[in-house]
Amino acid sequence: MHHRTSLRTALLPAALLAFAPAASATVSYAADFLAPAFTGETATDGWYDLNSANFPGYGTFGTTASAWPAPIGSNQAGSGDAVWDKLAGTSGYLTSAASNVLYSPNSFGTFTVSDVTPVSGLANVLFQVSSTGNLGVSAATLSYNGGSQSIVADLALLFQSGPVTTAFGPATQYVWAYQWDLSDVVGPIGDFAITWTTAEVHNLTFGARLDQSTVFAAAIPEPSAFAVFAGLAALALSATRRRKRIQ
């Protein structure tokens, strides 16, 4: 595998971040996920309103059990059958509907989002998670076909969605986005899993979104596009791009 990595900082207009989770009966934190217009065969999964009323049995404050009773299915309207699970760690329980977050109070947790029925001819995966914690540009890795390749994202970005008021007090809501170009993988991809670890104690996770398609297209505008929006309200963006060739 050969790759180059570069890091840049730019401004991303809020107009480009036009996705919000579906409405629900509980208090939702509307993270502005990227909503890419991918082509070819596509699929989208979304997780929101992460609370014990919607998903009972996923721990309480002070519990130390590392396993969840079962993976959490995506609950955004129109979602596919991807699931979210906890692999390790004693943190990561779902709070009440009033708090409405996945909370890691006193240690880190390792989580995975996986799909055993991806689109046929998968070439493009974009995963986004909204939280208060600093996950890092290399935090999420992808493996496929039951393997342990642990591929770092070709493209990763961080943007601030905005301040929010939570049951734990005021917080800043960030979205981490990770994208993989799998178009040069030899042979079909029958399943894949994305794994990441919360990077801070007292981390609040608000939701996540997974997009996949059969045609790769970068979900981040090129640097030349940022100048077009120079006078508009903007959000800080840090991004890293990695070019690779899988042999």
Half-sphere exposure of 107 (CA within 13 A, CB side): 13
Say if 30 falls within a structural domain.
Answer: no
User: Is residue 123 domain-resident?
Assistant: yes
pLDDT for residue 16 is more than 60: no
Is residue 44 a part of any domain in this protein?
A: yes
Alpha-carbon radius of gyration of the chain: 17
Tokens of 42: 């596509």
Asked, for residue 12, whether it belongs to a domain, the answer is yes
Q: Note the pLDDT tens digit of each residue in 29-59.
A: 767 788 899 999 999 999 988 888 888 877 6
Question: According to the model, what pLDDT value does residue 238 have?
Answer: 46
Q: How confident is the model over 51-63, as pLDDT tens digits?
A: 888 888 776 655 5
The residue segments making up the domain with residue 180 are: 2-22+36-245
- Is residue 29, in this structure, part of any structural domain at all? no
Q: How far apart are CA 37 and CA 158, in angstroms?
A: 20
Assigned domain for 31 exists: no
Confidence band for 106, pLDDT divided at 50, 70 and 90 = low
| Spatial distance between the Cα atoms of 143 and 141, rounded to a whole number of angstroms | 7
For residue 7, give the nearest of 158, 143, 110, 233 by alpha carbon. 158
**What would the mean pLDDT of 132-140 be, rounded to a whole number?**
67
- Alpha carbon of residue 10 to chain centroid: 21
Question: Does the residue 154 lie in any domain?
Answer: yes
Domain assignment present for 210? yes
Distance CA 24, CA 48 (A): 9
- Report the C-alpha gap between 209 and 178 in whole angstroms: 11
- Distance from CA of residue 74 to its chain's centroid? 12
Reported as a single tens digit per residue, the pLDDT across 149-170 is 999 998 888 887 777 877 777 8
Count: domains in the chain = 1
- β-strands 169-181, 124-131: how paired? antiparallel
Residue 20 has pLDDT above 70, yes or no: no
